[in-house]
């Protein structure tokens, strides 16, 4: 069973690259960040304080999160509802960053992610897949990019969805999220010691995937 992890900060291109790499290798794609966003969305709907660990623990014990593939790409379902677009809203992102700091949420999601891996090989992307979720993964990547470029990618994504956005504000949010993710006590954002670091600044997703495939080929992991 081949497990490949791709970690890195917001906007580095993890999701796009992970999906394409998974397709190239005929593996399952696992978006761990979407799972935390789904928890965050449900917490918002139930008006749960992100600091209330008991309430978050109860939420995680009853929540249902699943994925499905369709022509538009992978869809995320929360309690049976397609929330693929909804979980990308800024307020959900900030809530996800807050609730992911809490141990009950982290433990519940890691258990669910490992359970999904038991179904077969996968490409998992997130912020701690190589350090915490799958520390024994056969190959680990840490994807980075210049903060300005990451902000620009996020800005374009928001505009494409018809959302009002200002580049300077988006860049400020990206940098703030980086600081929060890197300084948290529980599963902080950092590369695994054995991860391959790839800078995606100025590269297309396909160029990044090709770099990864070359590394996998050299390590005899590519199938």
Question: Quick one: angle between helices 32-45 and 103-117, nearest 10?
Answer: 140
pLDDT at 162 over 90: no
Q: Average pLDDT for residues 107-116, to the nearest whole number?
A: 94
Is pLDDT of 140 > 70? yes
pLDDT of residue 223: 44
Annotate 115-178 with DSSP letters as a single string.
Answer: HHHTTS-EEEEESSIIIII-TT-SEEEEEE--HHHHHHHHHHHHHHTT----HHHHHHHHHHHH
Radius of gyration of the chain (CA): 17
Q: Would you place residue 220 in the very low, low, confident or very high pLDDT band (cuts 50, 70, 90)? A: low
Q: Tell me, what's the pLDDT at 222?
A: 47
Sorted by where each starts, the structural domains of the chain and their CATH numbers stand as 28-119 (3.40.50.300)
pLDDT at 221 over 60: no
pLDDT in tens, 23-69: 999 999 999 999 999 999 999 999 999 999 999 999 999 999 999 98
pTM of the model: 0.84
Task: Indicate the pLDDT class of residue 107, thresholds 50, 70 and 90.
Answer: very high
Mean pLDDT, the chain, integer: 90
């Amino acid at each position: 069973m081949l497990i490949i992890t791709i970690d890195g900060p917001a906007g580095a291109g993890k999701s796009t690259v992970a999906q394409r790499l998974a397709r190239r290798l005929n593996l399952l794609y696992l978006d761990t960040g979407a799972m935390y966003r789904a928890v965050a969305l449900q917490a918002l709907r139930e008006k749960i304080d992100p600091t209330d660990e008991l309430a978050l623990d109860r939420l995680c014990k009853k929540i249902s999160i699943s994925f499905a593939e369709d022509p538009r790409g992978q869809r995320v379902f929360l309690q049976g509802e397609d929330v693929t677009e909804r979980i990308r809203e800024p307020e959900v992102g900030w809530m996800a960053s807050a609730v992911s700091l809490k141990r009950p949420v982290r433990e519940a999601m890691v258990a669910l992610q490992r359970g999904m891996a038991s179904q077969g090989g996968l490409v998992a992307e997130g912020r701690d897949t190589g350090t915490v979720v799958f520390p024994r993964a056969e190959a680990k990547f840490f994807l980075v990019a210049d903060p300005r470029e990451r902000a620009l990618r996020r800005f374009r994504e928001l505009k494409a969805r018809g959302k009002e956005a200002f580049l300077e504000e988006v860049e400020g949010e990206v940098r703030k999220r980086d600081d929060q993710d890197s300084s948290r006590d529980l599963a902080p954002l950092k590369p695994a010691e054995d991860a391959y670091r790839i800078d995606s600044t100025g590269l297309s997703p396909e160029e990044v995937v090709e770099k990864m495939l070359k590394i996998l080929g050299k390590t005899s992991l590519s199938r």
